Structure 1
Amino acid sequence: MTIQQDLQKAIAGALQAQGAYAMFAESTQDPAAKAMFTEMRQDMERHVKILESRLQYLNQNNPLNQQQQKQQQEQARAQQKAQQV
């Protein structure tokens, strides 16, 4: 598994937890529990932003990704030229 895949998995888990905490906060009548779940949701929101930022950095600065993007662009240009002929 690549670091990008690990980050995507972590983002998915954090988003799932964020949604659960939001649901728990809405469903409880206990003000202390509501505050706790709200704070935990906000923590997960920060986690997601950190993870997404790192994933974006890796995707933009990974030489393998840059090479793949160049190849994809070249293939797209070749297809466009072939369609014009």
Structure 2
Amino acid sequence: MTIQQDLHKTLATAKSAQGSYAQFAQSMQDQTAKQMFQQMEQDMVRHIAKLNNRLGTVQESYSN
């Protein structure tokens, strides 16, 4: 597998986790648990942004 393929696979996994955390946050009655899952979702948003930046860098280096 190439680095690009690995990054795409990792991005898909991260997006899936983000969706799961969002779903958990919506379904929680306990405010502490709800906040925990909301924070985890926000963390994944940052992780996804970093992965997308890295993917862009890798794609640029391969296109040059």
The alignment's TM-score, normalised by the length of structure 2, stands at: 0.95
Displacement, 1:58?
0.8
**Uncovered stretches (5+) of structure 2, i.e. residues with no partner:** none
Following TM superposition, the consecutive aligned residue runs of length 4 or more in structure 1 with deviations greater than 2 angstroms are none
- RCO higher in structure (CA 8 A, sep ≥6): 2
Q: Size of the alignment, in residue pairs?
A: 64
| 1:15 partner amino acid | K
**Uncovered stretches (5+) of structure 1, i.e. residues with no partner:** 67-85
Aligned residue runs from structure 1 range 1-85, under 5 A: 1-62=1-62, 65-66=63-64
| 2:60 partner amino acid | Q
Displacement, 1:15?
0.3
Q: Which has the larger radius of gyration?
A: 1
Q: Residue by residue, what CA displacement relative to the aligned partner does 1:30-49 show, whole Å, maximum 9, x if unpaired? A: 00000000000001101100
Distance 2:5 2:12 in 1: 11
